[in-house]
Amino acid sequence: MSRPVLLITGASAGIGAACARLAAERYDIALNYRSDQAGAEAVKADCETQGARVILCRADVSKPEDITAMFAQIDAEFAGLDALINNAGIVGQTARVTDLSYARMREMFDVNVIGAILVAKEAVLRMQARSKGAIVNISSAAARLGSANTYVDYAASKAAIETFSKGLSDEVCAQGIRVNALRPGIIETGIHAKGGDPDRAARFASSVPMQRTGSPEEVAKGVLWLLSDEASYVTGTVLDVTGGR
């Protein structure tokens, strides 16, 4: 029996990797990464032990030509595409708005917003041909909170993803395609170190009503639920996985 096919962007570590490992119980996977080949290969190996067929798709989602090549690879390897987890994203160093450069903001929106929209566009084109599909776009609690003095540009990019998710959902729901977003809160991943603040998650744990940080696996469970038939009447919404924050 053939498995449904899932594309996960930014899947070599963190939330994307956790989603891949959980999804491998049910899906065959196109696993995208930009530069961490070793991480991607480790995730691939873990998924294959669960019976998943996995292909590695090296692509920078800020480059339209990379997205085109990635979907050409998926088309060549699989019969179609059933689901997308739009997870690839970046964050800059902690900074105030008055310190932000054009180059930083341009890269942030090229990856987090334009890249995500282009990936979703290509996924929808393939899902339309089958009149079914499910997409989860990964947002952030930052979209609600604003992230003053740290990542206002990142927060703004994630707010854009939430608006896009609602608009796309309304466009395609009559074609059998569901689109939702998910907001992770303070999650223990490497993204904090990339922002120059490796201890951020532990430091902010006390500000979470549940008094702890979350794990990538807890986020992945929410993502996979949104993709599943158990969420068959859920579209155009945003699920908080934030410990109440």
Catalytic residue numbers, as ranges: 154
33 bridge partner residues:
58
54 bridge partner residues:
29
Instruction: Give CA–CA dist 161/26, Å, rounded.
Output: 27
Q: Token digits for 188?
A: 């223990």
Instruction: Give CA–CA dist 139/239, Å, rounded.
Output: 9
Instruction: Give CA–CA dist 3/12, Å, rounded.
Output: 22
Closest C-alpha among 68, 87, 115 to residue 29: 87
Instruction: Give CA–CA dist 38/40, Å, rounded.
Output: 5
In the DSSP assignment, the letter for residue 180 is: E
Closest C-alpha among 202, 219, 213, 200 to residue 245: 213
CA distances from 74 to 30, 32, 38, 71, 173 (A): 7, 11, 21, 5, 23
Instruction: Give CA–CA dist 111/10, Å, rounded.
Output: 11
At 184, the amino acid letter reads: P
Residues in the chain: 245
Q: Three-state SS for 85?
A: strand
